[in-house]
Amino acid sequence: MKNDLASIETLRVLGALAHDCTRCVLSESRTNVVFGAGAPDADVMIVGEAPGQQEDEQGVPFVGRSGQLLDRLLGEIDLARGDVYVANVVKCRPPRNRDPLPDEIDACKGYLRRQIELVDPKVVLTLGNFSMKLLLRTTTGITAMRGTAYEWWGRFLVPTFHPAAALRGGDRVTNDIRADLTLVRNIIDGNVEYIDER
Ligand code: URA
């Protein structure tokens, strides 16, 4: 389907449209729209699921516990928050942190699609099932899909677990995220030669 936001030329204008957005019911309960943050020309764009309570209060993605773990793991591959661009599948917090619903994802996906085009990263790192399933158009779960880089619309896409899963699941999940982040580091260093086609 054609993206009606495809003609928007800058992240600033796209963000302003998102801030006034009423395309789904999440607009009725949000405190702030959490559009995205970071370097507008980043090599690495990170896509999470949906804002939580702290993100909703501050209008900034991944500022809660998941975000703190994300920052620590990014640091291990020598990336700081200011080096990457971070956004979510849906820009407004679902009430009580429930999963975003298909019609909410559908209403919001044009923003993400245009964000990716405007940032134009070398690699998209998806966190958890929602962003991976949306972008790779797959119903296969993250456990089976992670551990490799996919070719995706002329760039790399690396799916990994959501940091919230690592907070619940401990070292095994955290180490899988570490391995996927090492892949991201190798891609931005130009050391990845093979990729799975999607
Ligand atoms: N979890 C997400 O997926 N995104 C956020 O911004 C915060 C927590």
Domain ranges of the chain: 2-188
Query: What's the residue count for the chain?
Result: 198
Q: Please name the helix (run of DSSP H) or strand (run of DSSP E) that holds residue 85, with its range, or none.
A: strand 85-88
The Å distance, Cα 51 to ligand 1 centre, comes to 5
The pLDDT of residue 28 is 98
Share of the chain above pLDDT 90, in %: 94
The Å distance, Cα 20 to ligand 1 centre, comes to 20
CATH architecture group of domain 2-188? 3-Layer(aba) Sandwich (3.40)
Per-residue model confidence as pLDDT tens digits over 129-165: 999 999 999 999 999 999 999 999 999 999 999 999 9
Q: Is 56 in the pocket of ligand 1 (CB under 6 A)?
A: no
**Mean pLDDT for all residues in the chain:** 96
Ligand 1: atom nearest CA of 61 is 6
Per-residue model confidence as pLDDT tens digits over 107-122: 999 999 999 999 999 9
Q: Residue 172's CB: how many other CB atoms inside 10 A?
A: 9
Q: Is 50 in the pocket of ligand 1 (CB under 6 A)?
A: yes
Q: Is 88 in the pocket of ligand 1 (CB under 6 A)?
A: yes
Kindly report the pTM of this predicted structure. Answer: 0.96
Q: How many CA atoms lie within 13 A of 80 on its CB side?
A: 1
Q: Is 62 in the pocket of ligand 1 (CB under 6 A)?
A: yes
Whether the pLDDT of residue 194 is over 70: the answer is: no
